[in-house]
């Protein structure tokens, strides 16, 4: 793990067998789309929380669901599907991206996971949503092409996803980043649904119904917006009881 001022600690409640698992990175850098994708997977696959992520640089808040407090960054598992999802409702600042990505890679390697998939929304001026893929290894680039996802030829991948790609290449570890190019007017759930569709092509054992995402879109988006605003307020001015 990373030490010093950017210390990231992953504390485990349980230790299921994660060998061969796919890890979904749900740490958003700017857009809520990443959180929406990860949260939808957790809710609709009924994933079990097995760990949380802790850092002095994370917002000093507890998110409450069903009367129970939860850390603002958590790890969920669906052991039968060999699927792990990291979830965070707050933005990871760019300067902390390397520490978070390195911790995620270290943990995945330690647990024998086989691949990390990250999702990201990037802005464009006009047109429909376009989905692209980037792979850290020749194997992942072949996977992307095989399922019909267009590969990004040239561009920039910022934040945690970008660091994951570079660290994956260095460690010869499979990392895929799925990017949605969307305008400012594109509804978040539209970009999230397209990313989830691309994810299920890449990992066909993940089978989810996207219809509820469209039905519940506003409720989910409002909840994520609210949680993010609370987290940002806590970062600016810690709240004391």
CATH number for the domain harbouring residue 47: 3.40.50.10900
Residue 239 covered by a domain: no
| Residue 223 in this model has a pLDDT that exceeds 90 | no
Quote the CA–CA distance of 130 and 60 in Å, as a whole number: 36
Residue 173: DSSP 8-state:
-
Backbone angles phi, psi at 63, to 5 degrees: -90, 135
Residue entry with tokens 């054992």: 205
What number is the average pLDDT over the span 99-112?
A: 95
The conformational region for residue 148 under phi > 0 = left, psi -120 to 50 = alpha, else beta, is: left
- The encoded tokens of residue 92 equal 């990871």
Give the pLDDT score at 224: 61
Q: What angle do CA 191, 212, 188 make, to 5 degrees?
A: 20
Residue 35 covered by a domain: yes
Strand ranges, E, within the chain: 9-12, 22-25, 48-54, 63-65, 68-70, 73-78, 83-88, 115-123, 130-135, 150-151, 174-182
Q: Tell me: the pLDDT tens digits for 30-57? A: 778 898 899 999 999 999 999 999 998 8
Q: Which of 105-109, 157-161, 208-212 has the lowest mean pLDDT?
A: 208-212
| Residue 216 in this model has a pLDDT that exceeds 90 | no
Residue 241 covered by a domain: no
Residue 200 covered by a domain: yes
Give the pLDDT score at 217: 58
Q: Which of 6-20, 85-99, 142-156, 180-194 has the lowest mean pLDDT?
A: 180-194
Quote the CA–CA distance of 185 and 1 in Å, as a whole number: 39
Give the pLDDT score at 235: 56
**Beta bridge mates, 121:** 180
Share of the chain above pLDDT 90, in %: 60
Q: Which of 12-21, 36-45, 191-200, 218-227 has the lowest mean pLDDT?
A: 218-227
Residue 171 and residue 108 in contact, taking contact as beta carbons nearer than 8 Å: no
CA quadruple 167, 39, 194, 180: dihedral sign: negative
pLDDT band (50, 70, 90) for residue 104: very high
Q: Which carries the bigger pLDDT value, residue 123 or residue 19?
A: 19
Residue 26 covered by a domain: yes
Backbone angles phi, psi at 107, to 5 degrees: -65, -40
Q: Tell me: the pLDDT tens digits for 175-194? A: 999 999 988 887 788 889 99
Give the pLDDT score at 198: 96
Domain that holds residue 113: 4-232
What number is the average pLDDT over the span 93-103?
A: 92
Give the pLDDT score at 1: 37
Give the pLDDT score at 241: 38
**How many domains does the chain divide into?**
1
Residue 237 covered by a domain: no
DSSP 179-231: EEEE-TTS-HHHHHHHHHHHHHHHSTT-----HHHHHTHHHHHHHHHHHHHHH
Average pLDDT, the chain: 87
Quote the CA–CA distance of 72 and 64 in Å, as a whole number: 10
Quote the CA–CA distance of 27 and 123 in Å, as a whole number: 18
Give the pLDDT score at 238: 45
Residue 133 and residue 150 in contact, taking contact as beta carbons nearer than 8 Å: yes
């Amino acid at each position: 793990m990373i030490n010093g001022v950017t210390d990231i600690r992953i504390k485990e409640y349980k230790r299921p067998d994660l060998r061969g698992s796919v890890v979904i990175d749900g740490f958003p850098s700017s857009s809520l789309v990443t959180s929406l994708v990860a949260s939808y997977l957790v809710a609709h696959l009924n994933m079990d929380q097995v760990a949380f992520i802790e850092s002095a640089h994370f917002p000093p808040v507890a998110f409450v669901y069903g009367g129970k407090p939860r850390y603002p960054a958590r790890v969920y598992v669906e052991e039968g599907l060999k699927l792990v999802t990291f979830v965070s409702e707050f933005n990871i600042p760019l300067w902390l991206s390397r520490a978070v990505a390195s911790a995620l890679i270290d943990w995945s390697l330690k647990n024998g996971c086989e691949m990390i998939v990250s999702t990201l929304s990037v802005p464009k001026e006009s047109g429909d949503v376009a989905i692209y893929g980037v792979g850290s290894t020749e194997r992942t680039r072949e996977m992307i092409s095989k399922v019909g996802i267009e590969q990004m030829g040239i561009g920039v991948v910022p934040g945690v996803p970008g660091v994951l790609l570079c660290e994956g290449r260095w460690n010869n570890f499979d990392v895929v980043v799925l990017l949605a190019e969307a305008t400012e007017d594109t509804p978040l759930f539209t970009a999230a649904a397209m990313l989830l569709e691309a994810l299920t092509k890449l990992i066909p054992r993940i089978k989810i119904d996207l219809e509820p995402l469209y039905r519940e879109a506003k409720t989910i988006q409002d909840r994520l917006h609210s949680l993010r605003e609370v987290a940002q307020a806590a970062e600016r001015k810690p709240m004391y009881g």
